[in-house]
């Protein structure tokens, strides 16, 4: 993941940010997750198809100079690639988990919620184990390739010697099977729409809704995207920390009631 985070508190790879926070060398309370998300969305906007095309062209020229054989383009992160987004979501999820625990240290979780957190932590550990292997595979893929031929055929032009039982029908079937296999290996094109969601705006929206009366979290987030639900929940955590609101959940998995804290 080539993305580098640039915020007031930290500048550098986002993986390093997570490492510093987990080692308690950087307080999570000093970090604005809204600023982290905004910086990543800004980074995605800078990625264009033109940049991606130019990068592939430069790589192809480099491979041609390194080897006289037919070059094979290496896999790389294109604009809005699922791998780039997945890497960010894994790290951002861990940061959100740490931030939530710091805001509500005594908050009791259900067994399903505890299991969900443990599952997330297992996934993050696996991600950390596989990340170096992915980088090594990419580096190896981009290295110059070597081939060794028999001295007898060295320097001779390639010649195709078909077998006696080969005919045009069999050759046509073989070519079609190769094309079908290539289609199955080709990745499907995905269109991902990104929208900016401001944490500050959601905080203001919650406060404005509470002026009317008690609100329910389910009603606030009805027909909202998963990202909006997460930002709404993060807004509640901030308001709880500042003692602006108070919440109540009568039983596990029931709706959360929100009301303005009496000053």
- 40 is written with which tokens? 């990543």
Q: Which of 18-22, 55-59, 67-71 has the lowest mean pLDDT?
A: 67-71
- Give CA–CA dist 178/34, Å, rounded: 48
- Give CA–CA dist 211/213, Å, rounded: 6
Per-residue pLDDT at 66: 42
- 56 is written with which tokens? 């592939």
CATH number for 197-263 (one of 3.40.630.30, 2.40.50.100, 1.10.10.580, 2.115.10.20): it is 1.10.10.580
Give 244 or 18, the one with higher predicted confidence.
Answer: 244
Distances from the Cα of 136 to the Cα of 79, 122, 248, angstroms: 22, 22, 49
pLDDT band at 146, cuts 50/70/90?
Answer: low
Per-residue pLDDT at 70: 37
Upper half-sphere CA count for residue 133 (Cβ side, 13 Å)? 5
CB proximity list for 42: less than 8 A, separation 6 or greater: none
**Res 60 pLDDT > 80:** no
Site of tokens 């800004």:
42
Give 203 or 44, the one with higher predicted confidence.
Answer: 203
Per-residue pLDDT at 52: 45
What is the reported pTM?
0.34
Average pLDDT, the chain: 74
How does DSSP assign the chain, residue by residue? ---EEE-SS-EEEHHHHHHHHHTTSS-GGG--HHHHHHHHHHHHHH--HHHHHHHHHHHHHHHHHH-SSPP-PPP---TT-HHHHHHHHHHHHHHHHHHHHHH-TT----HHHHHHHHHHHHHHHHHHHHHHHHHHHHHHHHSPP-----GGGTTPPP-----TT--HHHHHHHHHHHHHHHHHHSPPP---------HHHHHHHHHHHHTTS-EEHHHHTTT--HHHHHHHHHHHHHHHHTTSEEEE-SSTTSPPEEEEPP-
Sort strands 11-13 and 215-216 into parallel, antiparallel or unpaired.
Answer: unpaired
What tens digit of pLDDT does each residue of 207-260 get?
A: 998 888 888 888 888 888 888 889 889 999 999 898 898 888 888 778 888 998
What tens digit of pLDDT does each residue of 61-81 get?
A: 444 444 433 333 344 444 456
Upper half-sphere CA count for residue 49 (Cβ side, 13 Å)? 0
Per-residue pLDDT at 204: 92
- Give CA–CA dist 179/21, Å, rounded: 49
Find the mean pLDDT for residues 110-123. 72
């Amino acid at each position: 993941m080539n993305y580098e985070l640039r915020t007031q508190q930290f500048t550098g790879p986002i993986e390093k940010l997570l490492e510093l926070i987990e080692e308690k060398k950087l307080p999570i309370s000093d970090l604005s997750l809204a600023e982290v998300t905004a910086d990543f969305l800004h980074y995605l906007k800078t990625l264009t198809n033109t940049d991606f095309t130019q990068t592939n062209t430069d790589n192809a020229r480099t491979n041609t100079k390194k080897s006289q054989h037919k070059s094979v383009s290496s896999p790389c992160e294109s604009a809005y690639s699922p791998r780039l987004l997945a890497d960010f979501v894994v790290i951002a999820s861990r940061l959100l988990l740490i931030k939530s625990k710091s805001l509500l240290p005594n908050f009791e979780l259900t067994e399903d919620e505890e299991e969900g957190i443990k599952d997330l932590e297992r996934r993050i550990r696996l991600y950390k184990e596989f990340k170096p292997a992915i980088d090594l595979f990419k580096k190896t893929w981009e290295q110059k390739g070597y081939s060794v031929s028999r001295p007898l055929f060295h320097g001779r032009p390639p010649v195709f010697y078909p077998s006696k039982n080969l005919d045009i029908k069999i050759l046509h079937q073989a070519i079609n099977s190769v094309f079908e296999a290539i289609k199955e290996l080709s990745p499907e094109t995905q269109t991902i729409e990104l929208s900016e969601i401001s944490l500050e705006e959601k905080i203001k929206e919650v406060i404005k809704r509470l002026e009317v009366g008690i609100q329910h979290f389910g009603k606030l987030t009805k027909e909202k995207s998963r990202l909006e639900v997460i930002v709404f929940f993060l807004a509640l955590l901030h308001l709880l920390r500042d003692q602006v609101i108070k919440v109540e959940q009568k039983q596990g998995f029931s709706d959360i009631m929100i009301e303005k804290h009496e000053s």
